[in-house]
Amino acid sequence: MSGLINDISVNHNINLFENNIADYSNISNTAMFTGNARLPSGNALYEMLKVISCVIIVDLKTSTIIDASFTTLSPTANNYIRSLVIGFCLNDGFQVLAKRFDRHLHLTSKKSFIKSLEIAYQRYQDYLTEGKMKIGS
């Protein structure tokens, strides 16, 4: 049964992705950051994935997340979770975003989603700290 659900989910995600390709025509002002976090054992997502992956695309001039993706078993879950982060200005700090997740996600794997996003956020902060980019330049 779970194989059938997984197959349907994968096919639907592929179709969803093909129909919703974001426009990164000004790619010189964007960067991609990723984060991965282990899922807690004993829930359905763990049995299928083991790890949550987060991908954020950031507009480097405004520090705004312009696109995001999370590994989930359904496109509905991914779309809802990404709606929580798209448009968020990273200058506001990670805790504001973590509180948004805490308020809107009621999942046994919520902490893993938050941790994967925190790792992506930290990679963004490391990118800025390493002097590769000055905000607004």
Asked, for residue 9, whether it belongs to a domain, the answer is: yes
Unique residue bearing structure tokens 């805790």: 95
pLDDT at 43: 81
Report pLDDT for 47.
Answer: 83
Confidence of residue 25 (pLDDT cuts 50, 70, 90): low
The yes-or-no verdict on residue 34 having pLDDT over 50 is: yes
Instruction: Name the most confidently modeled range: 41-45, 70-74, 82-86.
Output: 82-86
CATH number assigned to the domain comprising residue 121:
3.30.390.50
Mean confidence (pLDDT) of the chain: 82
- Closest C-alpha among 1, 3, 66 to residue 32: 66
Sign, CA dihedral 116-121-122-123, equals: positive
Domain extent, residue 17, equals 2-129
Please check whether residue 81 lies inside any domain of the structure: yes
What is residue 34's three-state secondary structure? strand
3-state helix, strand, coil in the chain (%, to 5): 50, 20, 30
Tens digits of per-residue pLDDT, 76-89? 999 999 999 999 99
Q: How many domains does the chain have?
A: 1
